[in-house]
Every structure is written in structure tokens, then in C-alpha cells.
């Protein structure tokens, strides 16, 4: 274990190393190798989580690699899901080893067990789930972006930065230094970064992936104003080290109180980023489950500049979609392609920011810890059962050749969506036991091509009859 002051020194070394010239970098790499036993991925960042969550220096860092030419070059990327915001289905083992079935999200993970135990598990997870090798592999897979999730509880805002509460109880803080290290890896390996505020105070959607499953009370009390201060803080501290700041992931516009506040939040968040970080940092907003057409003309030039629209494209979270045949799923992708490209033509740069290869909701705990699947009838009674989950998720050794052939076609149909607009970001790079959701396993299993724009099914949408 290092003392907090040593952690800060390490971070300084990492950033000097990331900022230096190539020759200097080589020398520093050697130095780091000696001091850390030759393994960068094992840099001992763990320490007192509260004390280590203060970044030493940040705002003066140079922008990441060569600026990405948004709108000209296509975003091709993966999400680093389940890293700084836990999701039970991505890392079920972390939840299983608590021996407590009431621990269903990161909130209860901090609340319902000894905080030293929780903190140790999380520090180990932050240190190992994604390593520098993953950035190397992502680059080698022909990808140019990662989208990284962060929860508000990991942002080291202080009472000097906000007039609202800085308490994150019962969440366990301490991920911030690991995020900073990830930004240095991204820069080192020429990967651009979209930083995505994935969990806001009160939960913006009630999903476990917001940190807290249950009700979405983000629109209540001080939560929205507090979130704006968090956005401003991130833009000021690390705006120079990322390419895009996404103001908030998936606010639940299906709830009227959230639908009412979200347009003004996007505008205020945009202003906060511009004030704190200037004009080069891009700002990402989302459709809030209302469809992109709901945002026609919104935050468009010249009212705003450098804004991107994030649309998430899943085809499994309601019965109408999950009942589609394989061919109908391809057709569905092509419908989305039409909708997004029509919107993008006269609106914001548009990104298909989350999508996967899953055509079932069979991945264990995908719908929440202890919750079943629509596919096999274990989610809800009085609904049709589509079949057994066997062979659709989990270990790809159970996948049939026909299924893998379909996964390739389906992958291409969804890449086609992103290629028709300003880009795409697959959900997710890795998952413990859900290979249909894993880019890494797709590369290994051959249903994701080593060059992401290689085509076995060119003109897939023209062929689908859409």
C-alpha cells in the first residue's frame, strides 16, 4: 500500500510521462518498469480511498493525442462497461461473493457490507478489470474511441466547488485516480475518450447501471443543480484530457418529471462545459428515450457548437422487440439507420453510442440481480416464452455455427447504422459470462471482424427490403 502523497507522486509521473516527447517517454517507461516491477497494469494505486481521490494536477494537461475530426472521421469504439460503475450482469462474481442477494447494485454494495471489504474488492476491480493491455487490444482491433462510465460518487468535488452536498454515502469513492490512469493509457495508445456521467445523484433512470436500482429521483430536490456542478468540475479538471464529455447517460424521459427538466439541463450543462473548458471539448447529450426526432433543432448551430447526440440501440428490452425473428432484427437495424441518418442530416452529429449483439435478454442478471429473462419466460408471467436460453449467451463454446453466422450479420447491420451517421460504440468490451455482449469474445469467436469495417454482407440494408 502506498501513502496518499505517494499516489499523487505516481500520478504526476504518469502524466509527465504521457505528456513528454517520445524519447523522454522511453526513458520514463524504463524508470517506471524498474520502480513498479515492470508491470504498468499493477501500479499500486490503491490507498486510503477518500484521501487518494484528489487528483494532483489536471487542468493544465494537453488535449488527448491529435484532435479527432468529428463529423469527418467515423467514431468506432467500445464502451468500457462495468469498470467504474458496477453492473451485476457484467461482473456477477463481484456480487456473488458478497453472499448477500440484497446487494443488487453499487449503492447496496457500499451499504450492506463492511466498507473495508467493499473498498478492497472495488480497488482490486478498478485495478484489474481493464488494464493497459486492453487499450492496446482496442487499438489493434481498429477502434479509435472508448466511452468510459463514471458515477457521481467517484468525482472528487469539494465544498469549494459546489454549494450542494458533497456526500456520497453509502457509495465507495476512490475510482478517480484509476480513471486518470486510464486517460493516460488512452493518450499513450492513441485512443480518444468519451467520458460519460453514468450515475447522477438520485439516479436518473432507476436502473442498476445508474448505481442505484429502484426509483429515479434525479429530478427532485437539488440533484439537477448538483449534477451541473459535477459536470462543471469534470470539465475544469479533466476537460483537457478527454475528447467528449457526455453530460448524463440515459436520463429516464419516460418519467414526466425527468422529461420536464432534461432540455434545460442539456442547455445548462453545455454552458457549464463551455465556461469551464472552452470550445474544443465536445459535449454529448442523449435522446432520453424520447427518440431523436423529439430533439429536432435542439442545441443546433449556431445556438451551440460541438454537440453530439447519443442514441442507444437495443432490440431486446420489450416484448415487441424480443419477439422479432433474426431477419426482422436485421430489418429493425435498417429502420434505425433511416431514422438516425434523417435526424443527423439536419441536426447534431449523431452516434450510436450503445448497442450489442444480443437478441435475447438471457445474460444472467441482465434485467437486474435475481430478475429473470423475457426470452425463457422467467421475467414476468402471462407473457409468451420464446424458448430456452441455452446457446444464446454465456460461454461461446455453446454457440452454434448458425448462431455465430447470424451474430456476424447482425453486427454488420448495426455497424452500418453508425457508419451512416458519425459513428458507433459497442456495448461492451468485456463481460465475465455473456459472450454475446463482448467485443473481445466476438473478435475471438470470429463474428466480429479484426478490421471492424470488413464486410461479409455489403449493402445489408438494401438487401433487407427496408
Ligand X SMILES: *[C@@H]1O[C@H](CO)[C@@H](O)[C@H](O)[C@H]1NC(C)=O
Cis peptide before 170 (omega within 30 of 0): yes
Q: Does 466 bind ligand X (CB under 6 A)?
A: yes
Q: Which stretch binds ligand X (CB under 6 A): 14-22, 159-167, 278-286, 347-355?
A: 159-167
Q: Is residue 98 near ligand X by the rule CB under 6 A?
A: yes
CA distance 237 to 58: 5
Stretch touching ligand X by CB under 6 A, among 91-99, 211-219, 284-292, 343-351:
91-99
The number of C-alpha atoms within 13 Å of 142 and in the hemisphere containing its C-beta is 11
Judge whether 354 counts as a catalytic residue: yes
Nearest approach in angstroms of CB 337 to ligand X is 12
Question: Of these, 35, 335, 400, 450, which contacts ligand X (CB under 6 A)?
Answer: 335
Stretch that binds ligand X, among 30-38, 55-63, 85-93, 161-169 (CB under 6 A): 161-169
Backbone angles phi, psi at 149, to 5 degrees: -95, 140
Using alpha carbons only, give the angle 456, 460, 463 rounded to the nearest 5 degrees. Answer: 125
Q: Is 381 in the site for ligand X (CB under 6 A)?
A: no
When binding is defined by CB under 6 A, the residue of 111, 162, 294, 321 that contacts ligand X is 162
| Cβ neighbours, 10 Å, residue 164 | 18
- Select the residue interacting with ligand X from 328, 339, 342, 378 (CB under 6 A): 328
- Please tell me which residue in 87, 246, 354, 419 is annotated as part of the active site: 354
Task: Output 48 or 466, the one with its CB closest to ligand X.
Answer: 466
Kindly tell me which of 260 and 395 has the beta carbon lying closer to ligand X: 395
Query: Does 465 engage in binding with ligand X (CB under 6 A)?
Result: yes
- Which of these, 219, 114, 134, lies nearest to 178 by C-alpha position? 134
Residue 430 CB, nearest approach to ligand X (Å): 11
Which of these segments, 32-40, 156-164, 259-267, 355-363, binds ligand X (CB under 6 A)?
156-164
Which entry of 106, 250, 412, 419 is annotated as an active-site residue? 250
* Between 302 and 465, CB nearer to ligand X: 465
Q: Which of 163, 167, 256, 451 forms a contact with ligand X (CB under 6 A)?
A: 163
Q: Are 447 and 357 in contact (CB under 8 A)?
A: yes
99 contributes a contact to ligand X by CB under 6 A? yes
Q: What is the contact mask toward ligand X in residues 414 to 453, using x (rule: CB under 6 A)? A: ----------------------------------------
Which residues from 387-406 bind ligand X, rule CB under 6 A? 395, 397
Told to judge if 275 belongs to the known catalytic residues of this protein, a careful annotator would answer: no
Q: Which CB, 275 or 454, lies closer to ligand X?
A: 275
**Binding region for ligand X (CB under 6 A) out of 37-45, 96-104, 129-137, 310-318:** 96-104
Residue (6 or 161) nearer to ligand X, CB: 161
Shortest Å distance, C-beta 44 to ligand X: 23
**CB under 8 Å to 98, separation ≥6 — which residues?**
109, 112, 113
For residues 459 and 389, the answer to whether their CB atoms sit within 8 Å is no
- The residue among 101 and 388 lying less far from ligand X, judged by its C-beta, is 101
Q: Of 193, 271, 194, which Cα lies nearest the Cα of 229?
A: 271
Binding site for ligand X (CB under 6 A): 97-99, 161-163, 328, 331, 335, 395, 397, 465-466
Amino acid at each position: 500500500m502506498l501513502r496518499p502523497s505517494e499516489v499523487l507522486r505516481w500520478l504526476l509521473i504518469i502524466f509527465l510521462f504521457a505528456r513528454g516527447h517520445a524519447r523522454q517517454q522511453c526513458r520514463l517507461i524504463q524508470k517506471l518498469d524498474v520502480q513498479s516491477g515492470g508491470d504498468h497494469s499493477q501500479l499500486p494505486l490503491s490507498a486510503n480511498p477518500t484521501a487518494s481521490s484528489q487528483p494532483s494536477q489536471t487542468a493544465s494537461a494537453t488535449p488527448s493525442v491529435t484532435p479527432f475530426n468529428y463529423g469527418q472521421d467515423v467514431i468506432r469504439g467500445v464502451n468500457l462497461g462495468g469498470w467504474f460503475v458496477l453492473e451485476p450482469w457484467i461482473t456477477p462474481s463481484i456480487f456473488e461473493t458478497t453472499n448477500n442477494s440484497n446487494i443488487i447494485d453499487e449503492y447496496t454494495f457500499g451499504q450492506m457490507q463492511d466498507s473495508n471489504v467493499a473498498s478492497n474488492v472495488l480497488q482490486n476491480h478498478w485495478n484489474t478489470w481493464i488494464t493497459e493491455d486492453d487499450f492496446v487490444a482496442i487499438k489493434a482491433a481498429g477502434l479509435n474511441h472508448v466511452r468510459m462510465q463514471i458515477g457521481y460518487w467517484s468525482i472528487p468535488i469539494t465544498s469549494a466547488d459546489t454549494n450542494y452536498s458533497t456526500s456520497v454515502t453509502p457509495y465507495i469513492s476512490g475510482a478517480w485516480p484509476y480513471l486518470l490512469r486510464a486517460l493516460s493509457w488512452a493518450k499513450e495508445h492513441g485512443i480518444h475518450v468519451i467520458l460519460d456521467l453514468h450515475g447522477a445523484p438520485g439516479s436518473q433512470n432507476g436502473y442498476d447501471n445508474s448505481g442505484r436500482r429502484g426509483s429515479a429521483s434525479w429530478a427532485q430536490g437539488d440533484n439537477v443543480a448538483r449534477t451541473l456542478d459535477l459536470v462543471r468540475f469534470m470539465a475544469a479538471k479533466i476537460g483537457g484530457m478527454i475528447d467528449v464529455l457526455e453530460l448524463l447517460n440515459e436520463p429516464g424521459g419516460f418519467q414526466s418529471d425527468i422529461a420536464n427538466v432534461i432540455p434545460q439541463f442539456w442547455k445548462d450543462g453545455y454552458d457549464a462545459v463551455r465556461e469551464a473548458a472552452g470550445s474544443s471539448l465536445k459535449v454529448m447529450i442523449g435522446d432520453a428515450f424520447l427518440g431523436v426526432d423529439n430533439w429536432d433543432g435542439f442545441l443546433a448551430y449556431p445556438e451551440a457548437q460541438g454537440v453530439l447526440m447519443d442514441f442507444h440501440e437495443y432490440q431486446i428490452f420489450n416484448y415487441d422487440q424480443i419477439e422479432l425473428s433474426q431477419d426482422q432484427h436485421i430489418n429493425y437495424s435498417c429502420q434505425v439507420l433511416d431514422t438516425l441518418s434523417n435526424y443527423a442530416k439536419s441536426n447534431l452529429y449523431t452516434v450510436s453510442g450503445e448497442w450489442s449483439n444480443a437478441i435475447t435478454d438471457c445474460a444472467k442478471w441482465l434485467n437486474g440481480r435475481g430478475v429473470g429473462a423475457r426470452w425463457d419466460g422467467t421475467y414476468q408471467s402471462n407473457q409468451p416464452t420464446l424458448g430456452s436460453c441455452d446457446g444464446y449467451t454465456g460461454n461461446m463454446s455453446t454457440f452454434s455455427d448458425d448462431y455465430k453466422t447470424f451474430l456476424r450479420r447482425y453486427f454488420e447491420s448495426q455497424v452500418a447504422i453508425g457508419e451512416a451517421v458519425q459513428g458507433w460504440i459497442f456495448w461492451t468490451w468485456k463481460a465475465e459470462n455473456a459472450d454475446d455482449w463482448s467485443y473481445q469474445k466476438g473478435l475471438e469467436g470470429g463474428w466480429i471482424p479484426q478490421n471492424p469495417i470488413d464486410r461479409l454482407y455489403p449493402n445489408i440494408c438494401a438487401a433487407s427490403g427496408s
